[in-house]
Amino acid sequence: MKRNPFCNNRVATLSRREALRSVAAGFGYLAFAGLATSEAAADAKTSLLTSRTPHFEPRAKRVIFLCMRGGPSHVDTFDYKPQLQKDHGRPSHYGTPWSASPWKFGQHGNSGLWMSELFPNLAKQADELCLLRGMHCDQPAHAQAFLQMHTGHFQFVRPSMGAWTLYGLGTENQDLPGFISINPTTANGGAQNYGSAFLPAAYQGTKFSVQDSSARNRRIDRMRRGEVNPYGINNAVNKQLSKSDQRVQLDLLAALNRDKLAHDQHNPIVEGAIENFELGFRMQDAVPKVMDLSDESEETLRLYGINEDPTDGFGRQCLLARRFAESGVRFIELGHGTWDQHSNIKTALADNCAETDKPIAGLLADLKRRDLLKDTLVIWGGEFGRTPYSPDGNGRDHNHKGYATWMAGGGVKGGFSYGSTDEHGYEAVENKMHIHDWHATILHLLGFDHERLTYRYGGREMRLTEVAGSVAAEIIT
């Protein structure tokens, strides 16, 4: 209400909407309402998960992320340091002696990549690997570094890399989640690592549980023998209601949710609920089929180390990753750990590598023979590396200043090494790749300009790489 300066009475001020409603018997408002309703109906028919075209021609259509939680020691695996061998036992600049790797390194493949003897099977795939030896991040603490690796940020809740991928690409299979996380940790941010944060809930990852063959989980499995879920996800099959009865329930829920959405006009939570209920219904047929390995040949099972000790658990994860990739899932993360070896590294690191070496090599070989590796980006890595020094020579501490990861397939150069740490392996010094650069490069391989893949939230355009990130063009074919 505004005061008329010429009288004491108050004069009502019409809003634009009220004017449309009243002028010309309201016909202008009726036309406007009809157009708005038609547009809303059209939007409702477009699923949040509809397959979409990226900014430019992608080299990779999907990602398989082999997440080694805990910080694998780069100087014992993929970052050969002859000077560290020479200086073993001598005082370092950091108060404790330099500690050489107890494992031998050798050159492998036509490319001659240096790799540790801890990965004899993966060494046969050396010409597929693009080693990134100049990695670094911002924090030496597990929780913060793990979150930054997954979301680009360690201080605030942000969408995960998998959620950004699904948001950008949509899914190729409406009957399966577009983003799956197998055996994710409940620590170091927990569900945030596969969450969607402010993106619509339809883009969050779906957690699957697959029996792990690590020493810790072998003990748990003995206690829970007979209770392992064969489908990897709870309630995958409804044994109480028929499909037709479930359809009636879902139609009622969908109608109620759409009424709520029409009232609110915009509600990402309700939109996500509609998508997720429908996806859950469709998954009842799709999940048991993709989780059933009975149609795989004995040769394929052996390739992944399935039904063998100690490779069975992670081998099943890797084989399922291939099956999910074949089925159109955009982002598949496999969890393994812990690689946090402050002590007993000679035994613990050897065990980690023995559990994962054959399955990972099998995955790369299987993807290649099925002509999937060329457009599947496989990533291996943890949240940071380890120090090249040790107080007792039997363990290594956290090191975020320099470490190694690798990529394969999906448009990266095989048999290639990019970046380096100093002569002892402590700090990245050449072609350094910050975690934002890593994310920018992954998005580029998927066909996205990381500065343009944004979502408006909190008054600004948000993105995975925050306000930084450069694509490592040198590693791209």
In the chain, where the domains are located: 16-46, 51-227+298-475
How much is the pLDDT for 234? 63
Cβ atoms < 10 Å from Cβ of 90: 9
Q: Are 118 and 409 in contact (CB under 8 A)?
A: no
The answer to whether residue 260 scores a pLDDT higher than 80 is: yes
How much is the pLDDT for 82? 98
Q: Which of 425, 342, 461 is nearest to 133 (CA)?
A: 425
Q: Which residue has the tokens 């470490």?
A: 403
How much is the pLDDT for 259? 84
**Beta-carbon contacts of residue 219 (< 8 Å; ≥ 6 apart):** none
- Name the pTM for this structure: 0.84
The answer to whether residue 406 scores a pLDDT higher than 90 is: yes
What are the tens digits of pLDDT across the range 135-190?
A: 999 999 999 999 999 999 999 999 999 999 999 999 999 899 999 999 999 999 99
The answer to whether residue 1 scores a pLDDT higher than 70 is: no
pLDDT band of residue 263 (cuts 50, 70, 90) is: confident
140: tokens are 């030496």
454: tokens are 């944004």
How much is the pLDDT for 233? 64
| H helix runs in 305-344, sequence order | 312-326
402 φ, ψ (degrees, to nearest 5): -165, 130
Q: C-alpha angle with apex 380: 391 to 140, nearest 5 degrees?
A: 40
CA–CA gap between residue 449 and residue 206 (Å, rounded): 26
CA–CA gap between residue 379 and residue 443 (Å, rounded): 13
What is the dotted CATH code of the domain comprising 51-227+298-475? Answer: 3.40.720.10
Per-residue DSSP letter, 14: P
Mean pLDDT of 120-133: 98
How much is the pLDDT for 236? 64
Mean pLDDT of 428-446: 98
How much is the pLDDT for 39? 45
What are the tens digits of pLDDT across the range 15-69?
A: 655 555 555 445 554 454 444 444 444 444 467 889 999 999 999 999 999 999 9
- Report the interhelical angle of 243-264 vs 268-291 (nearest 10°): 150
- Burial class, 125, CB count within 10 angstroms (exposed 0-12 / middle 13-18 / buried 19+): buried
Element of type H or E holding 164: helix 161-169
The answer to whether residue 305 scores a pLDDT higher than 90 is: yes
The answer to whether residue 73 scores a pLDDT higher than 80 is: yes
List 416's β-bridge partners, or say none.
130
Mean pLDDT of 426-433: 98
Mean pLDDT of 196-218: 78
Mean pLDDT of 422-448: 98
pLDDT band of residue 97 (cuts 50, 70, 90) is: very high
419: tokens are 């970046």
Query: Distance of CA 447 to CAs 61, 166, 440, Å?
Result: 9, 13, 11
